[in-house]
Amino acid sequence: AGAAGVLIGESLMRAPSAELLISELLDLPPTPPLCKLCGLRDVESAVAATAAGADMIGMIFAKSKRQVSLEEGTAMVSAVRAARPRPEGWQPLAKRELEQTDTRPWLLSWRSLLGAAARRGGALAGGGFL
């Protein structure tokens, strides 16, 4: 007895965000945003950024006013790893192959993978070289 579902066709079609409406209907917790701080120039800033919850840190190796050397970048990443060592056997999750060329699913998939990798193993690090 009773209903096993709900009809939401018109509501879904009129919603500004179908994704948000479905999340609300299913009472899913909101997805926290990913935080990336780029242009870091010293160990103290890198450690402070990750201690404050940054999911990703970035360094600029290309010629610019924020340029760091490879040695400085290595020191920042080493300090971040020392502050929060990765669990034994940690590896980034394998990428998901996406057939569609639609931008949104591709971005959401990578957002999910990067967020999961950062939650499991601490802040991810990247560099700008151009």
Q: Is 6 helix (H, G, I), strand (E, B) or coil?
A: coil
pLDDT at 89 over 70: yes
Q: Convert the pLDDT of each residue in 32-61 to its tens digit.
A: 889 999 999 999 999 999 999 999 999 999
Calpha distance 36→26 (Å, rounded): 29
pLDDT for the residue numbered 92: 73
Give the separation between CA 113 and CA 125, rounded to whole angstroms.
14
CB atoms closer than 10 angstroms to residue 106? 13
pTM, entire model? 0.71
Instruction: Name the pLDDT band for 13 (thresholds 50, 70, 90).
Output: confident
> Which pLDDT belongs to residue 80?
96
Single-letter amino acid, residue 84: R
User: What is the rounded CA–CA span in Å between residue 7 and residue 9?
Assistant: 6
At residue 116, the pLDDT reads 87
pLDDT at position 63, please? 96
- Give the residue from 54, 52, 53 showing the smallest Cα distance to 37: 54
H helices present in the chain, as ranges: 9-14, 18-25, 43-51, 70-83, 103-121
Q: What is the pLDDT of residues 91-124, one digit of tens each?
A: 876 666 666 667 877 788 888 888 888 988 899 9
